[in-house]
């Protein structure tokens, strides 16, 4: 056996045969054919027909809407216009590979020129082209594998387009060689509750069909596992499945310290699932969904209906609503019209709302009205409202004052910028609470754009610099008696959740699917343990050693209690 290290997402463990997602093929070289046009034509005909039959076969297996798409792709492979273009290139002495590449590329350009809906067909076309060229070159076709049995998917990283094609019922676990804990793969794994270890550089060497154990709790992939190891993994997976069915209790530490576990939601429609998974309220309700598809802001009436639906779903519980967080990765035409060189550092979050204050006032009006409406109906929740991207004490004062004008009882701010973390005590002079957005706090602390793959390695909330800033906020909250919540991806990492509580977090909010693992982990440590584990992480010099130090401190804790 050998262990490959990476960053685990959640606590799961799974084992099974590897299926690799092959990287896209490079464009074939434009060398003259060595075998002549007739031979090349025969090769093309064989490859096109084989790919078409393969796609049809997959279509029959898939059925439904997928079958329609796959049959359409099969027709693309044998398209007569395409064949004419290929023949013309072959007649000029090109190789089969190059002729196919050029013919597909020319159709792709036509589809892109038409634009709109047809852009999506361009991706279908690319997939066919890659399959044909792979067949001609005798290599595996790129894209999401489909070995016909459940598998451990090994990829560089997954793009949203890949995961759309992924049959999650067949995926035992995800392993990526790149990407960090906030990569698309990690977010997907958390949302769907899939066992995943990301950033496993050594996974590039894994071969198709080899059996591996993927242990997210340990952040490790075990190759050539022994029977004994496989049995233990199986037992742990079964025990975890049983724990997921365990009664749902309120979030608490082993010593009874309450740590409310809340849900991150982006739409009132997600409320039922969150409640079913034991969310004790909502720690982050993102209001962007109301705005993103609109070219103008939604009306107060539209907003009120959505907020009332949300509040009623959590009657009697805490609901933290974040006012519109536009800018950077979520530009809105009516708020951010100017081009910015550095949108993450630009007019975003509360800055943008302050520049268009009528939108903020309308949102607060709708929230106050929804609050009053649901209270009158007997389905009121405990509404808290917070502002995103607050970077100065003045902004905290501005927002909380304006929120109180509308009768918002509990007004707070998000701490996502180091300046706010360092001045948290002054911010608490105005804000009733703080909620730490760990994704943005990491981005701004490490000066690494969250959306830029080349600096994804910096985006790790375990970084001790980030943890120290969180400690500042936790300590300020304790001194002033103000709650400090966490609502970033970090709260969904069970051991990091323990560390955050040790740093002074009083509630944790996460994707609802992460609740069970975090709940189970919190129950195994006291507040003193959490503080000790946090100290170990704080003393580290980088994210990886902080994670290791916390693991070591938590393991020694477990041994003492056993």
Partner 1 sequence: MSEITRTVRIGSSHGLHARPAKLFAQAAKDAGIPITIAKDAGAPVNAASILGVISLGVEHGDYVTLTADGEGAEAALDTLSELLTTDHDAA
Q: Write out the catalytic residue numbers.
A: 184, 487
481 sits near partner 1 (criterion: CB under 8 A): no
Burial per residue of 305-334, b for 16 or more beta-carbon CB atoms within 10 angstroms, e otherwise: bbbbebbbbbeebbbbbbbbbbbbebbbee
Nearer to partner 1, 69 or 359 (CB): 69
Which of 26, 80, 247, 481 binds partner 1 (CB under 8 A)? It is: 80
Nearer to partner 1, 68 or 394 (CB): 68
Nearer to partner 1, 121 or 351 (CB): 121
- The residues near 91 (Cβ < 8 Å, ≥ 6 apart) are 37
Would you give the DSSP letter of residue 388?
Answer: S
- What is the phi/psi pair of residue 379, to 5°? -120, 30
For residue 80, the minimal CB distance to partner 1 (Å) is: 5
> Tokens for 345?
């550092």
Name the segment binding partner 1 (CB under 8 A); options: 64-72, 220-228, 503-511, 526-534: 64-72
416 and 388 in contact (C-beta within 8 Å)?
A: yes
Alpha carbons 90 and 30: distance in angstroms, whole number: 12
For residue 76, the minimal CB distance to partner 1 (Å) is: 6
The sign of the torsion formed by the CA atoms of 3, 490, 545, 551 equals negative
Name the segment binding partner 1 (CB under 8 A); options: 9-17, 75-83, 311-319, 487-495: 75-83
405 sits near partner 1 (criterion: CB under 8 A): no
Instruction: Tell me the pairing of strands 434-436 and 484-486.
Output: parallel
List alpha helices for 63-203, DSSP H.
64-77, 80-91, 96-114, 118-137, 160-165, 184-192
79 sits near partner 1 (criterion: CB under 8 A): yes
Q: Kindly list the distances between the CA atom of residue 486 and the CA atoms of 183, 404, 425, in Å, as whole numbers in the listed order.
A: 19, 23, 17
For residue 60, the minimal CB distance to partner 1 (Å) is: 15
Which of 7, 47, 98, 107 binds partner 1 (CB under 8 A)? It is: 107
- The residues near 210 (Cβ < 8 Å, ≥ 6 apart) are 17, 18, 223, 224
216 and 12 in contact (C-beta within 8 Å)?
A: yes
Please work out the total of residues on this chain that contact partner 1, with binding judged by CB under 8 A.
18
Helix axes 393-405, 357-376, angle to 10 degrees: 50
110 sits near partner 1 (criterion: CB under 8 A): yes
Q: Pattern of binders to partner 1 over 254-283, x per CB under 8 A? A: ------------------------------
82 sits near partner 1 (criterion: CB under 8 A): yes
For residue 101, the minimal CB distance to partner 1 (Å) is: 15
Q: Pattern of binders to partner 1 over 114-153, x per CB under 8 A? A: x--xx--x---x----------------------------
Which of 32, 34, 38, 81 binds partner 1 (CB under 8 A)? It is: 81
76 sits near partner 1 (criterion: CB under 8 A): yes
Nearer to partner 1, 79 or 472 (CB): 79
Q: Which helix (H) or strand (E) holds 350?
A: helix 350-355
87 sits near partner 1 (criterion: CB under 8 A): no
421 and 449 in contact (C-beta within 8 Å)?
A: no
Q: Which helix (H) or strand (E) holds 473?
A: helix 464-480
367 sits near partner 1 (criterion: CB under 8 A): no
Q: Kindly list the distances between the CA atom of residue 421 and the CA atoms of 156, 219, 246, 437, 476, in Å, as whole numbers in the listed order.
A: 35, 29, 37, 11, 9
For residue 107, the minimal CB distance to partner 1 (Å) is: 5
71 sits near partner 1 (criterion: CB under 8 A): yes
For residue 71, the minimal CB distance to partner 1 (Å) is: 6
Contact residues for partner 1 (CB under 8 A)?
68-69, 71-72, 75-76, 79-82, 107, 110-111, 114, 117-118, 121, 125
């Amino acid at each position: 056996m050998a262990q490959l290290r990476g960053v685990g997402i959640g606590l799961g463990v799974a084992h099974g045969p590897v299926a690799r997602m092959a990287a896209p093929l490079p464009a074939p070289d434009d060398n003259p054919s060595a075998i002549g046009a007739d031979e090349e034509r025969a090769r093309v005909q064989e490859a096109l027909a084989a790919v078409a039959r393969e796609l049809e076969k997959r279509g029959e297996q898939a059925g439904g809407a997928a079958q329609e798409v796959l049959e359409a792709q099969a027709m693309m492979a044998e398209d007569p216009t395409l064949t004419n273009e290929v023949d013309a290139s072959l007649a000029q002495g090109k190789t089969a590979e190059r002729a196919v590449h050029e013919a597909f590329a020319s159709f792709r350009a036509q589809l892109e020129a038409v634009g709109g809906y047809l852009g999506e067909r361009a991706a279908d076309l690319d997939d066919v082209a890659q399959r044909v060229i792979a067949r001609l070159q005798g290599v595996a076709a790129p894209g999401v594998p489909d070995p016909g049995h459940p598998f451990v998917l090994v990829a560089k990283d997954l793009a949203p387009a890949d995961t759309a094609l992924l049959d999650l019922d067949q995926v035992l676990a995800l392993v990526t060689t790149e990407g960090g804990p906030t990569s698309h793969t990690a977010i997907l794994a958390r949302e769907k509750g899939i066992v995943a270890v990301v950033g496993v550089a050594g996974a590039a060497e894994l071969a198709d069909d080899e059996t591996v154990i993927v242990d997210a709790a340990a952040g490790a992939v075990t190759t050539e596992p022994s029977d004994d190891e496989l049995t233990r993994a199986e037992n742990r997976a079964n025990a975890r499945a049983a724990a997921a069915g365990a009664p749902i209790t309120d979030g608490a530490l082993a010593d009874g310290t309450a740590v409310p576990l809340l849900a991150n939601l982006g739409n009132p429609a997600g409320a039922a699932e969150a409640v079913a998974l034991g969310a004790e309220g909502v720690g982050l309700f993102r209001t962007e969904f109301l705005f993103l598809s609109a070219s103008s802001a939604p009306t107060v009436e539209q907003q009120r209906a959505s907020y009332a639906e949300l509040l009623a779903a959590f009657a009697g519980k805490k609901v933290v609503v974040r006012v519109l967080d536009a800018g950077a990765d979520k530009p809105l035409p009516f708020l951010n019209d100017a081009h910015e060189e550095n949108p993450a550092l630009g007019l975003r979050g509360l800055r943008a709302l302050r520049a268009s204050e009528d939108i903020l006032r309308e949102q607060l009006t709708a929230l106050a009205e929804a609050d009053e409406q649901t209270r009158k109906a007997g389905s009121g929740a405990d509404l808290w409202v917070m502002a995103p991207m607050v970077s100065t004490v003045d902004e905290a004062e501005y927002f909380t004052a304006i929120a109180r004008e509308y009768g918002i009882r509990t007004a707070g701010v998000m701490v996502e910028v180091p300046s706010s973390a360092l001045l948290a005590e002054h911010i608490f002079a105005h804000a009733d609470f703080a909620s730490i957005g760990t994704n943005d706090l990491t981005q701004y602390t490490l000066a690494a754009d969250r959306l830029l793959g080349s600096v994804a390695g910096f985006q790790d909330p375990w970084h001790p610099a980030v943890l120290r800033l969180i400690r500042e906020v936790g300590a300020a909250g304790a001194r002033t008696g103000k709650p400090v919540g966490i609502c970033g991806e970090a709260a969904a990492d069970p051991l990091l959740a323990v560390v955050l509580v040790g740093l002074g977090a009083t509630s944790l909010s996460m994707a609802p699917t992460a609740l069970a693992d975090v709940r189970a982990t919190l129950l195994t440590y006291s507040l003193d343990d959490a503080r000790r584990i946090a100290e170990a992480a704080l003393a580290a010099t980088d994210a990886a050693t902080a994670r290791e130090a916390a693991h070591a401190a938590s393991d020694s804790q477990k041994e003492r209690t056993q």
